[in-house]
Amino acid sequence: MEVVETEKGGFEPPEVQQGLQAQLSRVLTLRGKERMEAILRSDAPRELFQSLPEEEAYLTVKEIGEQDALPLLSLFSPEQCQFLLDLELWRGYELQTEKAEHWLPLLLSCDEEALEQWLAELDEDTLLLLLKKLIRLHVKSGEESLEIKGTAEPLFTLDGMYYVEVLVPSFQTQVENLLRHLARNDLRRYWDILHQVDAEVPAELEERALHFREARLEDKGFPPMEEALALFQPLHPERLKRMLEAREIHLPGLPEKKPLPFYPLVLQDEKMFFSLCLKEVEEETLLERLKMELAYMANQVMVADQPESIEVSTIQRSLSKVGGYLSVGLEWLSEGDVEKAKGWIERVPLKYIFQVGFRASLELNWRAKRIGQWFADRGVPLSFLGSPWEERLAGVLKKKPLFFDETSAESYREFRTLSEIGSLRHDLDRIETLIRVVSFVSSSSWSEGFCWKRVLLRAFVEDEMEPSLLTDSTLAERGILGFCAARWEKGALRERLMSWLQRKTGTASDRNLWALLEELVESLLDEISPARYVTESG
């Protein structure tokens, strides 16, 4: 009977491999505790779990929670364990001991066989660096007693030669247990590790450990910072079309190692155009390519954003950002037609569609910067615009533009639809029109802390009324809004405001500007309660 060689060097019958593959395919469609229960009920839970891509094994533990996922931690392969440590122990360019304080007790509480295998195959520089940060060694020579003053905890030794001082008291028990495991499994390796900890220069060790950690993560789809930032290069749709016509675009090939991570396809936001398009894709090879590209792009976003810690929510935000800009790019390219969008997905790597979507937000940013400079040059705060224009302009002014979502608790988020881009574009049109209008208003009134509506209405009243009426007690009692409402019926006030703005700005012949002025006037009138208006024109 034909047998199949496994990655670990053993041999299994084809029917066993096929059964494992079928279980794996099902497990990848489950999330969180459902996935854990399915794995633990399996006839071969260790083999099944270790068949998961490193990313999926890691995410499963993060989704469930480290404490609740302890049964799965013991099933980790050395490669899965190394991937977890590479993500969890580092922040930027430095290994964080506080992260180790969380993970070391968890890993040491795992299955003895698993722990032995991890320690045997763990990247030695990671282990050395961790110990270098946690312990100081004292070597006893001859028969003389070893006395060390000023240590917080008593020294301990396993061989009567190397005496270990734990520098962080909270690690005392964990460090002792870790070193006992090392010595029990391989005493010679234990001595070699302690010798290296004593001899290594900290900066050189950290640089070397970081180099190999980055190389491992790059193999898993976590690129260097420069490559991660390259995802955010803007691309014009016409440029993409020319690249396609010139055959400058090549689709990425699938890696030989399978399976690919399944989590990138879990994009449930029905408002995203990309999610709708994804549901229409049935070809298996295309789905595999999309999974690979989405996982890599989510990793690029995480590397570029440099989050404080990696949680399930962090990965969800990265995927949401990727899905949002893909949606904007696809809508722009396909004009909102799902069939056309599928054609773009089939012919073009997703990164180019993302860059088209990101360019749409950058175009808003470029316009917003010119507007922001106008305010800065005159010392006018953005609060002059009032809500929600103030918040919307502030969001799009960010280095990576954000959409101000009044309906969401998060307030600021990435763009998800082309209509949101259009909405912000129209807001900028109105703000630019407002700038044109207020240019004739005395600049002293801009700095009084008023919103533009009060400033314009005051300027209107000053121009339209007799000076003697402006000192009337009704103006002081009712304020500018009450004064206008008491003086004019709404329709008459609208007509007077439009006529006044036409004379001031000379926009009668420009239909687009005229329409924008009408919107500004409606915003002004919305400030006045309907109950305030007089019943007849004043």
Q: What is the b/e burial string over 375-403, where b = at least 16 CB atoms within 10 angstroms of the residue's CB?
A: beeeebebebbbeebbbbbbbbbeeebbb
Average pLDDT over residues 252-263: 71
Residue 164, helix vs strand vs coil: strand
Is the pLDDT at 538 greater than 50? The verdict is no
Q: Give the C-alpha distances (Å, rounded to integers) separating 463 from 190, 440, 469, 480, 538.
A: 89, 12, 12, 13, 16
How far is the C-alpha of 436 from the C-alpha of 516, rounded, in Å?
11
Taking only the tens place, the pLDDT of each residue in 144-173 is 656 665 565 678 888 888 889 998 888 899
- What's 258's DSSP letter? -
Taking only the tens place, the pLDDT of each residue in 301-354 is 988 887 777 777 788 888 889 999 999 999 999 999 999 999 999 999 999 999
Helix (H) or strand (E) holding 59: helix 54-64
Average pLDDT over residues 393-402: 93
Helix (H) or strand (E) holding 136: strand 135-139
The confidence score (pLDDT) of residue 169 equals 86
Q: Which residue has the higher pLDDT, 526 or 414?
A: 414
How far is the C-alpha of 115 from the C-alpha of 255, rounded, in Å?
30
Average pLDDT over residues 175-185: 91
Range among 29-33, 377-381, 424-428 with highest mean pLDDT value: 424-428
The confidence score (pLDDT) of residue 474 equals 47
Is the pLDDT at 361 greater than 90? The verdict is yes
Is the pLDDT at 28 greater than 90? The verdict is no
Q: What is the pTM of this model?
A: 0.76
How far is the C-alpha of 127 from the C-alpha of 113, rounded, in Å?
18
Average pLDDT over residues 185-190: 89
Task: Find out whether 500 and 460 touch, Cβ atoms under 8 Å.
Answer: yes
Task: Find out whether 155 and 164 touch, Cβ atoms under 8 Å.
Answer: yes
Task: Find out whether 271 and 407 touch, Cβ atoms under 8 Å.
Answer: no
Range among 50-54, 471-475, 496-500 with highest mean pLDDT value: 50-54
Q: Which residue has the tokens 């019943």?
A: 535
249-253, 436-440, 530-534: lowest mean pLDDT where? 530-534
Taking only the tens place, the pLDDT of each residue in 263-283 is 666 555 567 899 888 888 888
User: How does DSSP assign 390-452, residue by residue?
Assistant: HHHHHHHTSSS--EE-TTSTT-EE----HHHHHHHHHHHHHHHHHHHHHTTS-GGGGGGS--H
* % of the chain surpassing 70 pLDDT: 83
User: How does DSSP assign 454-484, residue by residue?
Assistant: HHHHHHHHHHHS-HHHHTSHHHHHHHHHHHH
Q: How confident is the model at residue 494 (pLDDT cuts 50, 70, 90)?
A: confident
Is the pLDDT at 424 greater than 70? The verdict is yes
Average pLDDT over residues 56-73: 91
Range among 13-27, 56-70, 449-463 with highest mean pLDDT value: 56-70
Mean of pLDDT over the chain? 83
Question: Nearest-CA neighbor of 438 among 462, 455, 463, 450?
Answer: 455
Is the pLDDT at 2 greater than 60? The verdict is no
The pairing of beta strand 4-5 with beta strand 94-95:
unpaired
Residue 357, helix vs strand vs coil: helix
Average pLDDT over residues 235-251: 92
User: How does DSSP assign 13-50, residue by residue?
Assistant: -HHHHHHHHHHHHHHHT--HHHHHHHHHHSSSHHHHHH
Is the pLDDT at 534 greater than 90? The verdict is no
The confidence score (pLDDT) of residue 511 equals 77
The confidence score (pLDDT) of residue 105 equals 92
The confidence score (pLDDT) of residue 8 equals 45
Q: Which residue has the higher pLDDT, 334 or 530?
A: 334
Average pLDDT over residues 490-497: 82
Q: Which residue has the tokens 């301990």?
A: 156
441-445, 466-470, 471-475: lowest mean pLDDT where? 471-475
